[in-house]
Amino acid sequence: MGKLDVITIIIIAANVIISYKGFGDYSFFDKYKFHIGGVQRGEKIRLFSSGFLHVDTQHLLFNMLTLYFFAPVVTILLNPFYFVLIYVGSLLMGSLLSLYFHKNEYHYSAVGASGAVTGILYAAILLRPGMDLYMFFVPIPIPAYIFGIGYLLYSIYGMKKRIGNIGHDAHFGGAIGGYIITLIVSPELFKTNLLMIGLLALPIVLLFVLKKMDKL
């Protein structure tokens, strides 16, 4: 995928350092996690800070590996500034969508970079729809858009089963953020990748409709 730039390394390092601080300091974790009651009390920093906390090492590793694979596509085909814009915008969009879906659940909480990472994932697929991924224990290449759609479908399962303290709603909130911001900063994609734009819109719409219908 290319060499990681300094900005991506800084973001990964920030996730690792802050997450490990949260692993060993529950008061820190509790203060900065996404929490409906806290946000409604005016603690808006939680919308951002929760994106750098994780439940455990496995959760952190999965998100950072995904970011590692897809970040270079965005930084190379766009630029580091747009990468940061997409990352932060997707993180906040994921938190805002979670807030919208759970606004009446005072005690609802979640953490994770999933929203930001899914935004970068969707941006990378829009920019390079033909790329393949080679995953551990899978001997054949996987089309990136299949991985992207599967990543979102996993969020349905996560929301249904309430797996961990993870912001599964933020997965497709982040996807929406990455999708929209990428198309704004790179409108020529409507001419070159219209089919992929339509394909990647389907799971976003589907997941949103399913959630709104409370069928999860």
The pLDDT value recorded for residue 143 is 86
DSSP3 helix / strand / coil % (the chain, rounded to 5):
70, 5, 25
Give the pLDDT of residue 1: 46
- Residues whose CB falls within 8 Å of the CB of residue 71, separated by 6 or more in sequence, listed in order: 1, 4, 5, 8, 83, 120, 124
Indicate the helix (H) or strand (E) that contains 35.
strand 34-35
Count Cβ neighbours within 10 Å for each residue of 158-173 and write b for 16 or more, e otherwise: bbeeeebbbbbbbbbb
pLDDT tens string 104-148: 999 999 899 989 999 999 999 999 988 887 766 667 888 888 877
- CATH code linked to domain 6-212: 1.20.1540.10
pLDDT at 13: 97
Q: Which residues contact 188 (CB under 8 A, 6 or more apart)?
A: none
Q: Which positions of the chain have pLDDT values less than 50?
A: 1-2
What's the gap between Cα 161 and its chain centre?
A: 19
Return the pLDDT at 138.
Answer: 64
